[in-house]
Each structure stands twice: as C-alpha cells, then as structure tokens.
Amino acid sequence: MKYPEVKNYIGGKLTPAKTGKSWDRISPNDGSLLTKVTLSSKDDLADAVKAAGKAFAAWSAKTTKDRVQVLFRYRSLLEKYLDDHAQIVHEEAGKTVEEGRQEVNKSIELLEFACSMPQVSCGPSLEVTAGVECRTEYIPLGVVASITPFNFPHMVPHWTFPNAIALGNTIIMKPSRFTPVCSLRIAELLSEAGLPEGVFNVVNGGKEIVEGISEHPGIQAVSFVGSTPVAKLVYAKALAGFKRALTLGSANNHLILLPDAHVEMAASNIVASFTGTAGQRCMSACVVVAVGDCNPIIQRIVELSKQVRPGYEMGAIITPEAKESITGFINRAEKDGAKILLDGRKAIVAGKEKGTYLGPTIIDYATRDMEIAREENFGPVLTIVRTKTLDEALDVANSSPYGNGGSIFTQSGKSAQVFTQKIEAGMVGVNVGVPVPREPFGFGGWKDSKFGVGDITGESSIAFWTKPKKITTKWNPESKLNWMS
Ligand code: NAD
C-alpha cells in the first residue's frame, strides 16, 4: 500500500471512523492497492460539526488580516511541497505528473485571491446624511461544508476553503472516495502553517455523509461540486433545511468551429481541451460543432491527437467502471451510425497493463440527437456534429440541458460577437479551448450545471460565505434629525 490508511481529520487530530470500516482505493495508473479510506457514519460527522463549532468563536473573532497570515504561510509551504502534492494528484487521480503540477499551481493562484480578502471583502461606507454614516460588514456564517469530486482533488477544495476560512468560517471538507489523500495533505500543511485546530476538518465517506452534511442543522452553508443528479439532491436537501447551497453539476461543452479559424491555433487548443485530464474535467471540449467545410482543421485535430499517448501525455481514467462507461458511450455511438476517426478503446500502456487507460477518441458525423452528442461521457472523447450555419450550430449547443462552458474558433470578430451574445453558458471563450475564468473572476455555469446564486470562486464567493450587516452610526449630537436616522 503506497499511502497509509486515510483517516478523518477532526479538531486537528487524525481519527479513524467509528464504523471501523474502510474502502480500498486502487491505483488508476497500475492497478495496485494505493490506500484504504476510512468510511464514516453520521456520528463521525457530528463530531466534526462539534469540533468546527468549538473553533468558530475564536477564529471568527480574529481580524481578516490576522486570519490570512496563516494562508500566506500555507501558500509558501505549498510552493515548497509542490512536487510532493503533484505526485499525490498523479497517484490518486491518475493524471500526468505535469497535470498534477498545473493543478497545484492553480491552488496557489486561488490562495492568492484568498490572501487578498482583507482588501476585497472590505464593505462600502457612506455618509448618508450629515453626521450619519452607513457601512456594511461581512459576517461569517459559522460552520460550513464543501463536498468535492474526484477530478480535481487539489484545486476544487481550494475553490472553497481558503475564501470560507479567510472570511471567518470553520469548515468540513468531504472529498471523493477515489481521491482522499490530497485533502489530508492539505490539512497537515494547514496545521504546519499554524491554523488552529477545528477550523479545517475532513470527513471521508459516501452517500450517508453527503446527505448528513446537507441536513445537519449545525451546518450553515453547503457547497458541492460533482455530477448533476447529486448536485440537485444536495441543493434540495440543503434548502429544505433552510441553509445556503451552491451546487455545481455536470457539463457537455460545445465548441463551435468555423472554417475561417486559424488551423493550428484551433486544432491545438481543441486537442489540449479534450485530452487534458483524460477528458475528466467539467470544462473539457465535448462536442465540436463544425460549420460548413472544416475538414482541414478536423484533419489536423486527428493528427495532433495521435501524438497524445496514454500513460505519457495523457493520464488514466479514474476507475475501471468509469472506463467501461466511456467505452459503452463510444460503442453505442458507432452502433448509432457515427464514424470513429480515432479509436482509443484498445489503448494499453506497456508496463502498466493493469492501469485504466483509454486513448483519445474522435467521433465524426454524429447527429445532434445521438446520445454521444447529448450526454456527458466524461472521457477523452471528441464528438463532431456538422452543421451548415452558425445559427444552427448555436441551436445545437443551446439545446443542451447543461450550460457550463462554450467556445468559438474563428478569425471573424462579427461571428465571435454573435456567439458570445447567443451562447447559453456561464463561461464562454473565443479561440480558447478551456474558457475557465481566472481570479478574480468567478467560476460557475448555467442551467443544469449549477444550482444556486452566484459563482463558487472570486468576489461572488464573499456573499456566499458571509451575511452582510448594515451599521448606521451617529456621533454628532448637533446633526439634524432625519425620520430614518
Ligand atoms: P459525483 O457526483 O459522483 O461525486 C461528487 C461527490 O458526491 C463526491 O464527494 C461523492 O462522494 C458524492 N456522491 C457520489 N454519489 C453520491 C450519491 N448518490 N449521493 C450522495 N453523494 C454522492 O461526481 P464525480 O464523479 O466525483 O465527479 C465528476 C462529475 O463532476 C462530472 O459530472 C463533472 O462534470 C462534475 N464536475 C463539475 C464541475 C463544475 O464545476 N461544474 C467541476 C468538476 C466536476
């Protein structure tokens, strides 16, 4: 076993679940036993809520400036241990080591935003009548929670906890059972940086813990990132308990390709987008809607994709079940009459035959109503749908129930403008394969890709993690009476 059994982290202590049960986590890279993960019950969750509740009074009483000093120290430690953390991302999520490095670097960028919280969360103040001042303060909520998916085990936790704790909350993290090691390493490093016990807690487990978090009366706000069915469940349960929720769901992103696009720029960005993290990211290119004759660009996409070797430039699929599910999508697309231009189903990595690899797969001449064009498969699969006009292409993209990302590849400013105005998605790009907004812009989609108000990162997260207090003061006895102050 590569890593010791992953326990919970409650009140600053590593604690096994009271159930005494655990799951095996098998390496996606080579099929060996990577670690065991403690399987918690609602009793363990109750302990974590208690520990976080106990830590809240002292932590929230500090100034924001004092709180972010811990995050500055944590950021330096993360830089020091960047290679170690990148290696963990590689081992447990199956990404390439380089992708692990990129992910940890993105965590550092997110931390930098949290470190600026004293400046960016400073509320407005105004003299509303002579001698009378109104100001807003952002008050932390209390104990909050963050439920995260497998595909960015380092970055997605950094979407939530740095901002939440910088603003004075204490937090419970619930990582995916497939990628539990990152959250524990983060906990250890936060402790080394001087974070008080109980401010950051980790509870490992499955459905019972996710439902428990959504329902627990001691938790004030829940953020979730994962698939749409679970995002809907968490959102509904949290709201039924009158708590705040922001839940991010699945995606099926459309990239519209026009014949006037710069061939090399379009092809290289599209290939990087659908093969990066082996297609297991919610901002991957899923469907290319090719308008008119885009054959030279599609040919180049195929050529470049052939150079992306599984096990080298591209990582593994998270589990054998996920690999089987993606393969099923490709099989059914073939049966439905689409043309497989590049087939990654038989990929084998020499020396890692027990790893769960797939090669890049490109499926052309899919129709808009085929399953492969409509549903998220979450693999390194690019589906091409052909249309005659940009309007028709937009109609294909906008008929998706999801609205996470979308992009256009063109050299025409007019087409780009029509696209950005009409596409129904929360994160939109022009000649960009992965249109993820960087800090201080917020991350969040539309439609069935997100439930709740605002974005999960950036300035919008300040409103989610706090409640505004409006304070009106008058210290001047001579100031005139006003019927409101
Ligand atoms: P998932 O929904 O299976 O798991 C997410 C979390 O929910 C995990 O912590 C898991 O333990 C828990 N969970 C799983 N099944 C559950 C159930 N039935 N009841 C209660 N809890 C449950 O998602 P995943 O497979 O880890 O991640 C991939 C999915 O996440 C994809 O659909 C992807 O598009 C989406 N995703 C979305 C974003 C975004 O920003 N919109 C970002 C990353 C991933």
- DSSP states of 300-318 as a string? HHHHHHHT--BTTTB---S
Residue whose CB lies within 8 A of the most ligand 1 atoms, among 106, 177, 225, 381, for a mutation test: 225
CA distance 391 to 122: 44
Give the pLDDT band of residue 339 (cuts 50, 70, 90). Answer: very high
Give the number of other Cβ atoms within 10 Å of residue 209's Cβ.
Answer: 26
C-beta of 206 in contact with ligand 1 (< 6 A): yes
- DSSP states of 388-406 as a string? SSHHHHHHHHHTSSEESEE
C-beta of 227 in contact with ligand 1 (< 6 A): yes
3-class DSSP assignment, residue 52? helix
Residue whose Cα lies nearest atom 17 of ligand 1: it is 207
Residue whose Cα lies nearest atom 20 of ligand 1: it is 207
Q: 223 forms bridges with which residues in the sheet?
A: 146, 246
C-beta of 250 in contact with ligand 1 (< 6 A): yes
Percent of the chain with pLDDT over 90: 97
CA 277 to mean position of chain CA atoms: 13
481: pLDDT strictly greater than 90? no
Q: 200 forms bridges with which residues in the sheet?
A: 171
How many Å lie between the centroid of ligand 1 and the Cα of residue 116?
A: 29
- Residue 265, phi then psi, degrees to nearest 5: -65, -45
Q: Which ligand 1 atom lies nearest to the CA of residue 205?
A: 11
Question: For residue 483, what pLDDT is reported?
Answer: 79
3-class DSSP assignment, residue 457? coil
Give the pLDDT band of residue 51 (cuts 50, 70, 90). Answer: very high
Question: For residue 476, what pLDDT is reported?
Answer: 87
How many Å lie between the centroid of ligand 1 and the Cα of residue 445?
A: 15
Question: For residue 477, what pLDDT is reported?
Answer: 85
Percent of the chain with pLDDT over 70: 100
CA distance 144 to 289: 41
Give the number of other Cβ atoms within 10 Å of residue 127's Cβ.
Answer: 9
Ordered domains of the chain (ranges, CATH)? 8-249+449-470 (3.40.605.10), 253-430 (3.40.309.10)
CA 466 to mean position of chain CA atoms: 21
Q: Where are the beta strands (DSSP E) in 280-425?
A: 287-291, 339-342, 361-366, 381-387, 402-403, 405-409
164 neighbors 59 (Cβ within 8 angstroms): no
Give the pLDDT band of residue 84 (cuts 50, 70, 90). Answer: very high
Question: Could you read off the pLDDT of 378-400 as tens digits, one per residue?
Answer: 999 999 999 999 999 999 999 99
How many Å lie between the centroid of ligand 1 and the Cα of residue 297?
A: 34
Question: Could you read off the pLDDT of 118-131 as tens digits, one per residue?
Answer: 999 999 999 998 99
Give the pLDDT band of residue 480 (cuts 50, 70, 90). Answer: confident
Question: For residue 485, what pLDDT is reported?
Answer: 78
Q: Which ligand 1 atom lies nearest to the CA of residue 176?
A: 9
343: pLDDT strictly greater than 90? yes
Give the pLDDT band of residue 479 (cuts 50, 70, 90). Answer: confident
How many Å lie between the centroid of ligand 1 and the Cα of residue 149?
A: 5
Residue whose Cα lies nearest atom 34 of ligand 1: it is 250
Residues 6+ apart with CB under 8 A from 358: 278, 310, 317, 323, 326, 327, 344, 345, 347, 379, 380
214 neighbors 238 (Cβ within 8 angstroms): yes
C-beta of 74 in contact with ligand 1 (< 6 A): no
Q: What is the pTM of this model?
A: 0.98
- Mean pLDDT within 369-384: 98
How many Å lie between the centroid of ligand 1 and the Cα of residue 150?
A: 7
CA distance 140 to 164: 8
31: pLDDT strictly greater than 90? yes
Beta-sheet pairing, 170-174 with 221-225? unpaired
- Mean pLDDT within 419-430: 98
Q: Which ligand 1 atom lies nearest to the CA of residue 211?
A: 20
Question: Could you read off the pLDDT of 213-225 as tens digits, one per residue?
Answer: 999 999 999 999 9
- Residue 331, phi then psi, degrees to nearest 5: -55, -45
- Mean pLDDT within 137-166: 98
How many Å lie between the centroid of ligand 1 and the Cα of residue 392?
A: 32
First to last CA, the chain: 67
Which residues are designated catalytic? 282
Residue with tokens 């998605």, as numbered in its chain:
425
Of the given ranges (228-232, 258-262, 473-477), which has the lowest mean pLDDT? 473-477
Question: For residue 395, what pLDDT is reported?
Answer: 98
State the chain's mean pLDDT as an integer.
97
318: pLDDT strictly greater than 90? yes
Q: Which ligand 1 atom lies nearest to the CA of residue 231?
A: 2
- Mean pLDDT within 410-415: 98
Question: Could you read off the pLDDT of 440-455 as tens digits, one per residue?
Answer: 999 999 999 999 999 9
